[in-house]
Structure 1
């Protein structure tokens, strides 16, 4: 798994598998904001140390850039230790590089493969 220099990503938490939230397709800023708020709500409700990832796949990866209207919400999610990850295949499709992303946004080579790996590791999967 490759990532932005500012986004260290643990394979899973020390307390076991985590929660993976999948955001796919074209996303509006309000939609991604709601997804990241759901991740923040999960952080508050789940036991301390539970890993939470939001994987963005499709043209919605454009909303993960530094200039995005949701960059503040991304920053807040990262402060809560919610990993925000972009699909590498989607990035190539829309012409983005990891350095275009807001600080703390990481990448995975292929969202579909990452989702499968996390499920095989016992992670809970939610698609929003």
Structure 2
């Protein structure tokens, strides 16, 4: 199933490990914008094609909506080939549906499981 169709989607792991940036808890717009800028900086500094994901968990998922003050920053980050992912459990707690999200954001069922899987696959984990 593709992005924003109503059912959680676990993105496919790329070939080789990547960088996982974990944004958890309540987030202010400036905080999430800074995390997204960090992912853009990583994109510029890492080898071409390196996989980068920003995983948003907790009440901060509210900042991933189409009407968010950081939706433009999210779109720019996605254009840099950085995946922005929302935890479906967190979305449910926040009363959000996938169609509420900024275009291009993928979802997955549970952040804790996704984080573990990526680390088992050899991904680097960063929590700003």
Q: CA deviation at 1:18?
A: 0.3
- The match for 2:113 is 113
Find the residue that maps to 2:119 and give its secondary structure.
helix
How far does residue 62 in structure 1 lie from its aligned partner after superposition? 0.2
Spell out structure 1 runs of 4+ moving beyond 6 A: none
Unaligned runs of 5+ in 1: none
SS of aligned partner of 1:54: strand
- Unmatched tracts of structure 2, length 5 or more: none
8 Å Cα contact 1:9/1:83 also seen in 2: no
Contact preservation (8 Å) 1:13, 1:49: no
Whole-Å separation in 1 of the counterparts to 2:10 and 2:96: 20
Counterpart CA distance in 2 for 1:31 and 1:20 is: 17
Note the C-alpha offset of 1:9. 7.3
Residues 23 and 56 in structure 1, CA contact (< 8 A), matched pair in contact too: yes
Kindly state the Cα deviation for residue 83 of structure 1 after the two structures are TM-superposed.
0.3
User: Paired residue for 1:17?
Assistant: 17
RMSD over aligned Cα atoms: 1.7
Counterparts of 2:88 and 2:101, CA distance in 1:
12
CA distance, structure 1, for counterparts of residue 59 and residue 94 of structure 2? 7
Query: Structure 1 61/10 Cα, relative in aligned 2: closer, same or farther at 3 Å?
Result: closer
1:3–1:108: 8 Å Cα contact kept in structure 2? Answer: no
Q: How many residues align?
A: 125
Aligned: 1:45 with 2:45: yes
CA 1:9 to 1:114, structure 2 compared with 1: closer, same or farther past 3 Å?
closer
Task: Give, in angstroms, the shift of residue 72 of structure 1.
Answer: 0.5
Given that residues 2 and 109 in structure 1 are in contact (C-alpha distance below 8 angstroms), is that contact kept between their aligned partners in structure 2? no
* TM-score normalized by the length of structure 1: 0.92
Report the TM-score when normalising by structure 2: 0.92
